[in-house]
Structure 1
């Protein structure tokens, strides 16, 4: 009968004691020793169980004992896992170590080497990896039950009180006296979400991980992170996006979701429940689970595979190492945090965290990339200024997920008073990117992002057809506009298909200048030419049969604003302006600012005099304005005959009326 020793009988050690009692009663093992500087209460253990103050004492006694332990369970602080595991392995014992297996990658490699040289087994306590749901999910994915996999997301929304971080000296610490601890939401409290997500993404070993990106924050007064996004790209191209917090308004069951072109599979791993959602409906099923200690004992007896072998937690350790070496978590601005409860029972709530998690998962983006107000600010590629005052940031699209058709765009665009009048990666359409140029059908390639509308399907469907627009060569730029000298940015862009091959080449020119103290002018000119010697068709959902769905070409995604009004000489409201042709179209409202205030602003989109392109306008479902290049039929770009378009946007503070708009247009001259 296997003889077991438990090191650490308090905290999670209590659960191990209960499990050991269950298995001992079933005749599967015998608990022969425990070690803890704070011994268990009298009567808690059988008289036959030896009690030691630490593992060193236990091992010293073991060398002279006939009934020495064969397996040691380590339920001890994170920073002790590696040295204790090494000592137990050297003594010839198999090891069950709680998660995380170690506090650094170097320690992880030491434990791997010690296990290999001793020939002993090491199981890591990621209990969810014993779930029978995992092979069932793998079979569902491989069978095509949800189509092609787009990516995975892990979500954990828990709450932890001030008292939680007082339970031990190491709680909430990144290190103690120079010794790595790496406690945190992703490495400890919700580590199972990360480990389970990695397992479902096919990433187990270190070699299975291509990259790990961290975006770490805290609302508690701790060293460690409690609200974070972790993005893992696997060696075979799958992306796992983990959104984790201990600052939720209420505790929720954590989950991992596989996102497919035909549905989703969500695994609530604490409940061993799987939910499959497709257009045909929803199916739920609960599964059993193999206990990891029983699995370890079976592996000792029969050679069965470990369900959570230490080598197979290499991918998780890559995440831990990225967190360990990342900058210290940024404190979340208290203006965005609400505290509930009193004293040690008080806990912070990051406002709007649930919606932010959903948006991040859909966009496969970090908080910083989404521009969350309390997140770190990412430096733009370039900043457009007027007299030294920033009015727009230029992003190259390199951080945008592949199925959102990465491309250059402007965001945020600001009024001179600071109102932000663009949005990017919003929850409703995460492929909407500020102000720029995009088309959904370029000879069958989607340079817009998201699903593609096809005439054959008569609906939007996921296809592996997404392109990417990137800069080629060195841009010509004068980024600060001064009186009598407009700012400009001229770029050569390559529109490349899913295989990386060129489809179009573009000459794009932004120019901007001030219009007094309360308005400025932004102009865009672009020319699209075939990359080869054959014509290229430029289309839209509208040209593929979707009624009045002719978006594509220039597009400006607005943020939500209060009191929104849209009008043109042709009419008012979305119904009055969508699909019409007019010289200008205006949008006004009260917008937010980067400093948290609000600002009234008016945008005036001015078309060239000879333009016949209809306006594409959305105001009810979401706020957006475009100039339709292919409203209901494709436009052909021929070699030597590029398709050219231009538009001017007047960005003004205040709520202008029609007379004010016409005066502004006349004041600045012919925008074309």
Structure 2
């Protein structure tokens, strides 16, 4: 994270002692707060309010008789009341034209957020400010918080370790009346003019701006990319439930998860996530919460008023806290939203309405949990597979007799510290019941069905923290690798035929250099009207001419923590049962070596059974989790390392029978006997 301030020395007029004369355009709505602040500062002798402009004049007695009242800025400027600074508290689409007029008239400008409605307008206003030698302050009040430099100092001092990412989250609720308050509310454009109202650009714009500030993104050049995932529950044009993922030029990621469709209003936050803990700013009240292994502490900070800051900049040359050039990063986000496809409507089946008439407001079901997952995984709603989100297009679809049974993802959208890699999700029964999960809140690096290892010559291809023998615990390390596909060939499963996906993959270290090469083959076919078969073969070879060790937390000293190799993350299910020919339950099956292991339960789509079948003579123990989370793996390195040697790769095979309904042990034995040795 970096700190930047305005250094436009040509705009500064240090040494001025005259009392600044202020004009306010827009006296209703947020303009009423400006009136109150102006009265406070005028009473302190800091300024003089000389004029206001609004088509609807303020009530009689609201202003001193010396304050001139005009219907609009044009009339105000024509009357030349001698104002030095104009405050614009007007609709979004008017900000740019009004700011341009005020700047050309030789006035400094305080404009409410968002400063403009497009990147083109931003550049026009910026050019006018420079040409006229004027200051433009943008009303992102949270940027005046003294908590921001304090947080930067804490991060720089290493209080939370290495920064993993920054998040901004806001869960608000807005009624139907909110979107009826003006013609432009909830609009992307009005009468052919950009408005770009929305949860991120207006209602919770401070969350985005504050997050960008802590991510070190101020100017346009500070933003490398912006990804948008926009939705609406209300009957509007603009988004009310969205994820934005901003990657900065400095390498940080800011994930904004925002909604106006929460079940209850919560204070919005911006959090810096680190390897040793988090620092969270409740920016509406300037409260900071620092959470580390040493405990939690809270600190409250003051705030510099942005109008006072603007007056100080005029008088002394002090830097502007909300200088227009340093809202370029925010404008990049706004422009990405403006040019994105229209927000997708959320399925009414996923919305519940609370209240009556204009007081009614929508609640997106499960939105709080989904936002928590988005923040932790740095993922969009589409990537998480929210039931109401756009479907994330699979790289490939596996089908049995024309019925899709699994989507294949290449993992390119996965955050770096989750060890990006190919995986299958969702995997379905022939009846359509989903039997995998991915990026769950408890372990966001769990990705459906695939191959992952936590220690490949010291590189983590599993994701998350790494367990080391030296530390005797899980710790964050900059050791995450990624798995990419080099070549791929798909043969579809036609009627009565086996489908096959053959791949060559490269396991790359944190620096991008190859560590392993892999030959992987998925095969799938129908077994019975309600059962299909998925098999995986993979062989791991050194990328170079020296052996590579394959390890796990178990091989590094964690008791019975030998996960790694094949892994299947299940979704939560009712009446879950796990058993082998030798016993049932997690305690009896975890670490056991048996021919097969079965898992059954009542999933969201209905009852289903998964039967994991090892080849004859396989000695790899089963890895089983039920209490903490539902998952099954075939451990490649249970309590000792396995070597992949040149010319002698580490090979593994497993077959999974995916069945609708609950199978009994006799059914399982009959199926396995019918299938023969899966190897």
TM-score by structure 2 length?
Answer: 0.97
* Residue 551 of structure 2 corresponds to residue 539 of structure 1: yes
**Matches of 1:553 and 1:251 in 2, distance apart?**
44
Name 1:555's counterpart in structure 2. 567
Name 2:117's counterpart in structure 1. 103
Matches within 5 A, 1:302-341: 302-341=316-355
Matches within 5 A, 1:644-659: 644-659=651-666
* Residue 492 of structure 2 corresponds to residue 479 of structure 1: yes
Structure 1: stretches of 5+ with no match in the other structure: 593-597
**Matches of 2:380 and 2:435 in 1, distance apart?**
22
Name 2:235's counterpart in structure 1. 221
535-544 vs 335-344, greater mean Cα deviation: 335-344
Matches within 5 A, 1:347-496: 347-473=361-487, 475-483=488-496, 485-496=497-508
Which whole-Å deviations, capped at 9, do the CAs of 1:287-330 have from their partners, x for residues lacking one? 00000000000101111100000000000000000111111111
**Matches of 1:358 and 1:513 in 2, distance apart?**
37
Name 1:174's counterpart in structure 2. 188
**Matches of 2:388 and 2:105 in 1, distance apart?**
50
Which whole-Å deviations, capped at 9, do the CAs of 1:2-48 have from their partners, x for residues lacking one? 00000000000000000000000000000000000011111110000
Matches within 5 A, 1:49-64: 49-62=67-80
**Matches of 1:458 and 1:325 in 2, distance apart?**
50
2:165 alignment partner, SS class: strand
> Quick check: 1:481–1:512 contact (8 Å CA) kept in 2?
no
**Matches of 1:86 and 1:666 in 2, distance apart?**
80
Equivalent residue in structure 2 for 1:607, among 601, 609, 614? 614
**Matches of 2:522 and 2:172 in 1, distance apart?**
46
1:480 alignment partner, SS class: coil
**Matches of 2:528 and 2:365 in 1, distance apart?**
38
Name 2:169's counterpart in structure 1. 155
**Matches of 1:328 and 1:490 in 2, distance apart?**
38
Deviation at 1:343, TM superposition (A): 0.9
**Matches of 2:160 and 2:650 in 1, distance apart?**
39
* Residue 591 of structure 2 corresponds to residue 584 of structure 1: no
Deviation at 1:669, TM superposition (A): 2.8
Moved over 4 A (4+): none
* Residue 534 of structure 2 corresponds to residue 522 of structure 1: yes
Equivalent residue in structure 2 for 1:35, among 50, 53, 78? 53
Deviation at 1:510, TM superposition (A): 0.3
Name 1:193's counterpart in structure 2. 207
**Matches of 1:623 and 1:429 in 2, distance apart?**
11
Equivalent residue in structure 1 for 2:245, among 220, 223, 231? 231
**Matches of 1:280 and 1:190 in 2, distance apart?**
32
1:362 alignment partner, SS class: helix
Name 1:11's counterpart in structure 2. 29
Which whole-Å deviations, capped at 9, do the CAs of 1:217-276 have from their partners, x for residues lacking one? 111111111111111000111000001111111111111000000000000000001110
**Matches of 1:223 and 1:203 in 2, distance apart?**
28
1:472 alignment partner, SS class: strand
Which whole-Å deviations, capped at 9, do the CAs of 1:429-448 have from their partners, x for residues lacking one? 00000000000000000000
**Matches of 2:466 and 2:675 in 1, distance apart?**
40
Name 1:595's counterpart in structure 2. none
Name 1:25's counterpart in structure 2. 43
> Quick check: 1:433–1:557 contact (8 Å CA) kept in 2?
yes
Name 2:623's counterpart in structure 1. 616
Deviation at 1:185, TM superposition (A): 0.4
1:102 alignment partner, SS class: coil
**Matches of 1:42 and 1:386 in 2, distance apart?**
76
1:579 alignment partner, SS class: coil
348-357 vs 398-407, greater mean Cα deviation: 348-357
TM-score by structure 1 length?
Answer: 0.98
**Matches of 2:475 and 2:213 in 1, distance apart?**
28
**Matches of 2:333 and 2:184 in 1, distance apart?**
20
Matched length:
661
Equivalent residue in structure 2 for 1:77, among 76, 91, 98? 91
Deviation at 1:449, TM superposition (A): 0.2
> Quick check: 1:159–1:249 contact (8 Å CA) kept in 2?
yes
Deviation at 1:479, TM superposition (A): 2.7
Deviation at 1:480, TM superposition (A): 3.0
> Quick check: 1:371–1:377 contact (8 Å CA) kept in 2?
yes
* Residue 262 of structure 2 corresponds to residue 248 of structure 1: yes
Equivalent residue in structure 2 for 1:136, among 139, 150, 160? 150
Deviation at 1:499, TM superposition (A): 0.3
**Matches of 1:481 and 1:368 in 2, distance apart?**
30
**RMSD between aligned alpha carbons?**
0.7
Deviation at 1:516, TM superposition (A): 2.1
